[in-house]
């Protein structure tokens, strides 16, 4: 499918690995210019070097920024405007599980740590980059939510709340800016093989004294019984949905949430 995004400029946060990086591969293959953003420039430089060697492209760039810091986000937006003339596509794949555990043990600081990344990071990015899309009368924003937004897990209350808020926030943006041809949607993955879930499985394996493979199988059986394909999802499986929502082919999709969860969310209407 031709996504009709040749020469569009895309910014992907959380872009040096996992879902963000796999999305970059698809968008570049469709002719877009992609800017990856993450916390450390050195990590981005290494990823970009390897990527360019493998895919023989010059359309990948990197700008480090901290989405918990408004000044850092604004500085990134200014640089993108100067170097690229602004973005057409924003994919916010940056996120953190944050503090987890018994609700009564979680402090205000625990909650705020998660909120600053998973919710306020998205707010800062939209505030900084929507004006660039307005100048082009075309834009696509895809925010990464989670199955936790519809089916919260008791040990992850801050993450649950933030991801539910992302869906609501994105719906709000879609109502404000849809008339300007800036379309906003969310994608909600479940148990994808990313650095975040790798860390979860390492912790679980150590806790139970088993291998990481055994920990994954225990988690699927006991924590994700409705994930019907009984395996972890792969980042490229989520990236395929994101890429479609970034495209001109998705010109009548706005304010929607797409679950990429293999059935992990039990309800049909969650």
Q: What are the backbone angles phi and psi of residue 88, rounded to the nearest 5°?
A: -105, -25
Do residues 86 and 135 make contact, with C-beta atoms less than 8 angstroms apart?
Answer: yes
Do residues 187 and 257 make contact, with C-beta atoms less than 8 angstroms apart?
Answer: yes
Q: Catalytic one among 153, 159, 177, 258?
A: 159
**DSSP, residue by residue, 72-94:** HHHHHHHHHHHHHS--SEEEE--
Please tell me whether residue 237 adopts helix, strand or coil conformation: helix
258 an active-site residue? no
What length is written for the chain? 270
- The closest alpha carbon to 138, from 7, 259, 236, 37, belongs to 7
Q: Which residues are catalytic?
A: 159
């Amino acid at each position: 499918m031709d996504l009709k995004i040749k020469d569009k400029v895309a910014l992907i946060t959380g872009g040096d690995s996992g879902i963000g990086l796999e999305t970059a591969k698809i968008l570049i293959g469709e002719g877009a210019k992609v800017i990856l953003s993450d916390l450390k420039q050195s990590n981005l430089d290494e990823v970009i070097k390897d990527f360019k060697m493998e895919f023989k492209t010059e359309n990948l760039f990197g700008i480090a920024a901290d989405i918990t810091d408004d000044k850092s986000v604004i500085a990134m937006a200014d640089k993108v405007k100067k170097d690229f003339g602004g973005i057409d596509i924003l994919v916010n794949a940056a996120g953190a599980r944050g503090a987890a555990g018994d609700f009564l043990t979680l402090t205000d600081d625990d909650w705020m740590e998660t909120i600053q990344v998973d919710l306020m990071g998205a707010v800062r990015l939209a505030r900084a980059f929507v004006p660039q899309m307005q100048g082009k009368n075309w834009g696509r924003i895809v925010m990464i939510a989670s199955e936790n937004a519809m089916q919260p897990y008791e040990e992850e209350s801050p993450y649950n709340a933030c991801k539910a808020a992302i869906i609501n926030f994105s719906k709000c943006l879609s109502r404000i800016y849809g008339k300007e041809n800036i379309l906003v949607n969310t994608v909600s993955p479940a148990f994808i093989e990313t650095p975040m879930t790798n860390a979860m499985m390492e912790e679980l394996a150590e806790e139970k004294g088993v291998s990481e493979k055994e920990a994954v199988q225990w988690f699927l059986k006991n924590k994700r019984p409705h994930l019907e394909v009984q395996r972890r999802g792969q980042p490229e499986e989520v990236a395929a949905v994101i890429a479609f929502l970034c495209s001109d082919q998705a010109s009548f999709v706005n304010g929607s949430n797409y679950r990429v969860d293999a059935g992990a969310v039990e309800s049909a209407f969650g």
